[in-house]
Amino acid sequence: EDQVTQSPEALRLQEGESSSLNCSYTVSGLRGLFWYRQDPGKGPEFLFTLYSAGEEKEKERLKATLTKKESFLHITAPKPEDSATYLCAVQASDRGSTLGRLYFGRGTQLTVWP
């Protein structure tokens, strides 16, 4: 049973066309929800951590929000350089030890074309 589900699997946007990526989770005892960006051939790069429902964080064209069961990554007026795979991960206390462990979704592959 997947604990973290991301949708859509792939998304193609024209430059400037805003959209949202979804991350839903089924764990309880959420300690934190993390968003990462991964470029081809590289490791994930940290974007945001959200801790409680209602929390929002922004960085340039990205804004992450959190509810009790899901998180959204909103991309406003994206540019081609925003093309990457966006990964969502959770740390939860109901799955045993959390030390160094994140549960990742499969990611959303975003392509922004000029």
Partner 1 sequence: KAGVTQTPRYLIKTRGQQVTLSCSPISGHRSVSWYQQTPGQGLQFLFEYFSETQRNKGNFPGRFSGRQFSNSRSEMNVSTLELGDSALYLCASSFAGGPNEKLFFGSGTQLSVL
Q: Minimal distance in Å, beta carbon 18 to partner 1?
A: 26
Contacts to partner 1 from residues 27-56, by CB under 8 A: 31-32, 34, 36, 41-46, 49, 51
Among 102, 108, 110, 112, binds partner 1 (CB under 8 A): 102
**Position 69 contacts partner 1 (CB under 8 A):** no
| Residue found under tokens 């969502």 | 88
Q: Minimal distance in Å, beta carbon 106 to partner 1?
A: 5
Total residues at interface with partner 1 (CB under 8 A): 28
**Position 91 contacts partner 1 (CB under 8 A):** yes
Angstrom distance (rounded) from CA 107 to CA 105: 5
Q: Minimal distance in Å, beta carbon 74 to partner 1?
A: 20
Question: What torsion, rounded to 10 degrees, do the Cα atoms 20, 21, 25, 30 define?
Answer: -70
Cβ proximity of 66 and 55 under 8 Å: yes
Cis peptide before 8 (omega within 30 of 0): yes
Cβ proximity of 28 and 94 under 8 Å: yes
Catalog residues that contact partner 1 under the rule CB under 8 A. Answer: 31-32, 34, 36, 41-46, 49, 51, 87, 89, 91, 93, 96-107
